[in-house]
A and B are shown apart, each in its own frame.
Chain A
Amino acid sequence: AQSVTQLGSHVSVSEGALVLLRCNYSSSVPPYLFWYVQYPNQGLQLLLKYTSAATLVKGINGFEAEFKKSETSFHLTKPSAHMSDAAEYFCAAALYGNNRLAFGKGNQVVVIP
């Protein structure tokens, strides 16, 4: 079964600083990978997805992620944090054609003014 690891439940970052959220997957076959963001009392919004077309994926709100097969990783970055980036971020993975998304535990991002 697919599993996704996100380390560090809470991540604090200063406004204007780099945002880095780590995600590792366990699969011998590269899965489809996603980053979702969730604001309080709302649903999940897709930030970006990897579907094997390109290893560097650009998403919404200035976020991007790089797929590294050798490291089984799909880390999320944003060069300069904004106060509006404070939210919960989930990494998820699934094999093509499999309707089960495996979620990581999530990272609560706090942006310090």
Chain B
Amino acid sequence: DTEVTQTPKHLVMGMTNKKSLKCEQHMGHRAMYWYKQKAKKPPELMFVYSYEKLSINESVPSRFSPECPNSSLLNLHLHALQPEDSALYLCASGSTGDTEAFFGQGTRLTVV
């Protein structure tokens, strides 16, 4: 299995809602990432987990809360988002110490 699977593919949420994005990989990778991508822009790193511990937080607002329940799963909990948070959210995984990242298909998030 060489895939990173993200659910849902599309999500529309109000500014008072709480929702979660999910990511799963079965490649044995111990590094997992969340990226945010706005239209016509490159992905921006949000969080990095290494061996299920948060190792990098790129000064992301607290309305985004990551969670890594185990080595195969990565969640991103969303609460009180703003319309400008609308974007494609990409999950990726890789071997720790290796820089290659395998990306999922993303979740297209729209905040209304």
Contact = CB atoms under 8 A, between A and B. Distances in A.
Given A100-B56, A103-B42, 13 more contacts: A32-B99, A34-B99, A41-B106, A42-B106, A43-B103, A44-B43, A46-B102, A96-B98, A99-B56, A100-B45, A100-B48, A101-B101, A108-B40
Contacts of B88: 41
Interface in A72-107: 90, 94-101, 103-106
Nearest to A101: B101
B76 interface: no
Secondary structure of the A contact surface, majority rule = loop
A98 B88 CA distance: 24
Interface residues of B, number: 29
Contacts, number: 60
Contacts of B41: 105-106
Secondary structure of the B contact surface, majority rule = strand
B55 A99 contact: yes
Interface of B: 4, 6, 31, 33, 40-43, 45, 48, 50, 55-56, 88, 90, 92, 94, 96-106, 108
A25 B87 CA distance: 27
